[in-house]
Amino acid sequence: MRNLISLLSGSLFGAGLLISGMTDTTKVQGWLDIFGNWDPTLAFVMGGAIVPMMIAWRLVPDRKPLSGGNFPTMVQHELDRRLVIGSVMFGMGWGLAGLCPGPAIASLTYGGTGGVVFLVSMLAGMYAAPAVSAKLDRTVNAT
């Protein structure tokens, strides 16, 4: 049952990315180009994700997932160096490539090398991140 729900949820998410244009790199870069040819339509895509999730978090304490288990608890993070650096790097990659992880995977379904290059680069970054993070921690702690 859990795998079926995951398949349906992932398919719905991927279809939403395709329909909304989130896999079109020029549309995403147009959203980020606030001083040029700005395209505000992706604000509705973001709102369409944020608003239902905000409502869902409010309903979670009294409910259980259909597939069993428990919903994850909402984590409160402090604003620290790792969060800021990670956010900046994510934003730079999103702005340069016009893709983030979900749309990059969805873009693999319609061919082209751009999505493959992005995905390989993303996986390389994920592999290197722990070592880079540990080195940064050692550098900060040494000073």
Q: Average of pLDDT values for 92-112?
A: 78
Residues 6+ apart with CB under 8 A from 74: 57
In eight-state DSSP terms, residue 63 is -
- Residues in the chain, how many? 143
pTM for the model: 0.60
Are 3 and 11 spatial neighbours (Cβ–Cβ below 8 Å)? Answer: no
pLDDT in tens, 115-127: 788 888 888 988 9
What percent of the chain shows pLDDT beyond 70? 97
CA distance 41 to 30: 9
Q: Could you write out the DSSP letters of every residue in 53-121?
A: HHHHHHHGGG---TTSS-PPPPP-----HHHHHHHHHHHHHHHHHS--HHHHHHHGGG--HHHHHHHHH
pLDDT-based confidence at 8, cuts 50/70/90?
A: very high
Q: Residue 65 above 80 pLDDT? A: no
pLDDT in tens, 18-33: 887 777 778 878 888 8
Average pLDDT, the chain: 81
What pLDDT sits at residue 109?
75
Q: Average of pLDDT values for 108-115?
A: 75
What pLDDT sits at residue 69?
78
Q: Which residue has better confidence, 108 or 111?
A: 108
